[in-house]
Structure 1
Amino acid sequence: MENIYHPQVQSDKTALLFVESEEFERSIKDALLTASYSVLPMVVDNFVLQKLESFDPDVIILDVDRIKPSHIATLNIIQQITPKPIVFYVEYPTHDMIKAVIDSKINAYIASDRLPYHVEATLQIAFARFNEVQALRSELSEVKDKLENRKWLDRAKGLIMQQKGISENDAHKMLRKMAMDKGKKMDVVARDLVSYMEAFS
């Protein structure tokens, strides 16, 4: 079944359409083509990750009757490797299904309306939510990195102060000069210094 369907209007937008069997409902595929997406329908199986090496979609869509744990597990792995907007089209959504998706921390949008003229709007919402969540994750990652770097700087300054008997301000100046001399960031120099001094302490 792994044929890529292309829209009549040339576009670089791509969608990976996960389905339960080769006898899948065609309405989502046709709606995606109308929205100028190239579509690759694919049965969810153990070889999905290998197949993704040759197809890098803009959005991943799961069109199924019910969300299964195996679906969530597969999408969770994909999202860890290459985050994408994900849309679940579920015929019979239940509270347990929605909770399972939320608990999995997959950045997904759940819909049941398969009307062709609603599909593109649903994808736009999914992209907007995906970008918002990714921005928040990036911001959180930056904050964590800054806190981690600050810990290394504080440890390095503490060791310098202890060894040299100088103030924190002077230790900071010494670290800054070392970083400038080596052409490295202060946190990198701090990590190297702490590792070296602790190894020989």
Structure 2
Amino acid sequence: MPKLTAMSKQLSIIVVEEDRDRALTIVDSLREAGDFDIQVIATHTGLARQIKAHQPDVVLIDIANPSRDTLEELALASGPMERPVAMFVDQSADGLSGAAIEAGVSAYVVDGLQPARLKPILDAAITRFRMFQRMRTELAETKKALEERKVIDRAKGMVMKARNVNEDEAYAILRKAAMDQGKRVADVASALVTAAGLLS
């Protein structure tokens, strides 16, 4: 996944634009806004494959009047969970902005791409992407911790029953086994629960 934290590194941007003149306008605006490594993709065919090949830091999509299917297809093809995606549309039907955000688009701008607004919108898209990425990471870590807690509790229950000890003593037994094996308590607990499942 591209690292957006290294600001000394030249930011790579893929511009998805079928119209050559509009693509040139976008590229010129980006060049005025900063020192970017810019690639233009002129066709939506094989977009996911092309983006994967380039591994850009940001994807900028300019589309005149998207349908819901086109919008979701473009958003998903651009890898919104891996990088910020900014989408510029001339017109937008009801509900499309919500669909774009749900598909992972970091910035959805209606009323077309205006050169003066390009850099601040890209900055906002990158900031928003980082924020959501942080939230996803924290949520995944919290879910993992909860799952591990459940497994440890099950393993403690099994040790309490097998050894006729209280909860603290059961945890101490698990912790000692983990230390002896150079593993985490959650890993030892998981192995115990799995083994017990195989034996029952």
Q: Distance in 1 between matches of 2:9 and 2:161?
A: 63
Q: Residue 91 of structure 2 aligns with which residue?
A: 92
Which amino acid counterpart does residue 125 of structure 1 have in structure 2?
A: A
Q: Distance in 2 between matches of 1:142 and 1:174?
A: 26
Q: Residue 73 of structure 1 aligns with which residue?
A: 73
Tell me: CA distance 1:107–1:183, structure 2 relative to 1, closer, same or farther (3 Å): farther
The alpha-carbon deviation at position 90 of structure 1 amounts to: 0.7
Q: Residue 46 of structure 2 aligns with which residue?
A: 47
The 5 A counterparts of 1:1-201 are 12-22=10-20, 24-34=22-32, 35-68=34-67, 69-79=69-79, 83-104=82-103, 106-111=104-109, 112=111, 114-201=113-200
The alpha-carbon deviation at position 110 of structure 1 amounts to: 1.3
1:11/1:37 contact within 8 Å kept: no
Q: Distance in 2 between matches of 1:29 and 1:153?
A: 55
Among all aligned residue pairs of Structure 1 and Structure 2, give the percentage whose two residues are the same amino acid. 25
- Structure 1 length-normalised TM: 0.85
Which amino acid counterpart does residue 70 of structure 1 have in structure 2?
A: T
Number of aligned positions between the proteins: 190
Tell me: CA distance 1:97–1:183, structure 2 relative to 1, closer, same or farther (3 Å): same
Show CA shifts across 1:52-105 (max 9, x none): 34311111111010233134224225436x51111111111332321321343x
Tell me: CA distance 1:25–1:17, structure 2 relative to 1, closer, same or farther (3 Å): closer
Q: Distance in 1 between matches of 2:72 and 2:88?
A: 13
Q: Distance in 1 between matches of 2:141 and 2:118?
A: 34
Partner SS, residue 92 of structure 1? coil
